[in-house]
Amino acid sequence: MDWLVNKIEPPDSAFLIKALDKQQQLTKPLGSLGLLEEIAVRLAAMQKTENPSINQIWVSIFAADHGISEESVSAFPQIVTTEMVKNFVNSGAAINVLSRYIKADFEVIDVGLIAAIDVEGVISERAGNGTENFAKQAAMTTGQMQSALATGKAAVERAVNHRAHLFIGGEMGIANTTSASAIAVVLTGMTVEQLTGTGTGIDSRAVEHKANVIKRAISLHQNFLINPLNVLQYLGGFEIAALVGAYVFSAQRGLPIVVDGFISTTAALLAVKINPEIQSWLIYAHCSEEKGHKFILDYLDARPLLYLNMRLGEGSGAVTAVPLIQMACKLQSEMATFQQAKITTKKEKGNK
C-alpha cells in the first residue's frame, strides 16, 4: 500500500495564471459566471492548457456487500446489491441513463458481493464475499483492503488508457451509509447524530437504531482506529476502499476527479487523510440530502456545484454535474475577448 502516499503533482500554476488572465479578457464582468469560472481555471491548470476540454468521461461503479446489514440498518435486504448490479449491466439504472446522456465510458466492478455472479459485463475483482459485520469484528482483513484499494487503482489505469478527461467513481452496497457514517465520525470528530441519516429511506426510529449500532461499533474498535487505513479496515466497505484507491491514483496520474455524494465524499475524506495532496484534483459535484454530507463537505472546505436534493448514489450526482463542467470549459475556450469583440473596457476620460 506504499503507492497510496506516492507524490501527487499539483495542477500547473503557470497555466492557472494564464487561464485567470484570459478570464479577465472575456466579454463579461470578472466573476460574473461564478463557480463556472473557477472550474474552468482549475481544469486549465490540471490539463496544462488555457483552453480545457472535457470530452471523454470514465465512470466506474464499484459494488460490494456489507456484513453490517445484518443489524437491520437498511430499508432494503442485502440481495438488492446483486440485483442492482444486474440492473447496471442491463442499462436500466439511473446512472446508466445519465452516463449515456454524457456519452461516458461505463463499467461495473464486483469488489465483493455476498456471492460471485456470472454475468457478462461485470468485472470480477473480488476482495471477499462481502465485509464482516463491523459491529462484531473488523470489516475486512489487511489483505482484503489491499485488494480493494488495488481494484480502484486498476479502474483508473483503464480510464487513463482510454484517454479519459474525467474520472467518476460510483458505488452500490446495501448498508454502506452505515459504514460511511462510522468512518466520517472517527475521521472528523463529529457526533454520530450529525453524520447518521436515513440512507435508503429508513424512518426516525430506525435512524436512532442505526446510530446506536455505529456507536457500539466505534467503541468496540476504538483502540485500533489509529490512522485512516485502520479506520477503513475496521469500519469500511470494499467499494469504499476501491473508491479511495481510485481517487488517490487518479490524482497521481493527473486525471481530474468528480466526487459524487455521501459515500463517495467519505471515500474522498479518507483519501485526503491518506494523501492530502489529492485535494486539488477533486471536484465536488453536489450536496446530497443524506444528512451527514453537508457536514463532511464543510469539513473538507468543499464547494459543491449542485444542490438538487439527490441521495441516490451510484455516481449519479457526479454525472449530472458533467454538463456544467463541460459548459465551463466551453466558456473558457470559446467566448470572445473584449478586444476581439471590439468592446470598450474602460470609460473614456471625462465620462461619469
pLDDT in tens, 16-43: 999 999 999 999 999 999 999 999 999 9
Q: Is pLDDT at 121 greater than 60 in this prediction?
A: yes
195-239 pLDDT, tens digit each: 999 998 999 999 999 999 999 999 999 999 999 999 999 999 999
In angstroms, the CA 182 to CA 317 distance is 22
What predicted TM-score, i.e. pTM, was given to this entire model? 0.97
- Confidence at residue 347, expressed as pLDDT on a 0 to 100 scale: 53
35-69 pLDDT, tens digit each: 999 999 999 999 999 999 999 999 999 999 999 99
- Confidence at residue 128, expressed as pLDDT on a 0 to 100 scale: 98
**Cell 503507492, residue located:** 3
Average pLDDT, the chain: 96
CA 117 vs CA 237, 263, 280: distances in Å: 19, 24, 37
The one-letter amino acid code at 287 reads C
Of 157, 239, 314, 334, the catalytic one is: 314
Contacts of 117 (CB under 8 A, 6+ apart): 82, 85, 86, 110
Provide the percentage of residues in the chain whose pLDDT is more than 90: 97
Q: Which domains does the chain have, with CATH numbers?
A: 57-324 (3.40.50.10210)
**Cell 472528523, residue located:** 188
302-343 pLDDT, tens digit each: 999 999 999 999 999 999 999 999 999 999 999 999 999 999
Q: For 159-180, what is the mean pLDDT?
A: 98
* Neighbouring-strand partners of residue 108: 61, 122
Q: How confident is the model at residue 345 (pLDDT cuts 50, 70, 90)?
A: confident
Q: Is pLDDT at 350 greater than 90 in this prediction?
A: no
User: What 3-state class would DSSP assign to 85?
Assistant: helix
Q: For 97-111, what is the mean pLDDT?
A: 98
CA 107 to chain CA centroid, Å, is 16
Q: How confident is the model at residue 1 (pLDDT cuts 50, 70, 90)?
A: confident
The one-letter amino acid code at 202 reads I
Terminal-residue alpha carbon distance, the chain: 65
Provide the percentage of residues in the chain whose pLDDT is more than 70: 98
Is residue 120 among the annotated active site residues? no
Q: Is pLDDT at 348 greater than 50 in this prediction?
A: no
In angstroms, the CA 162 to CA 103 distance is 14
The percent helix, strand, coil of the chain (3-state, each to 5) is 50, 10, 40
Q: Is pLDDT at 352 greater than 50 in this prediction?
A: no
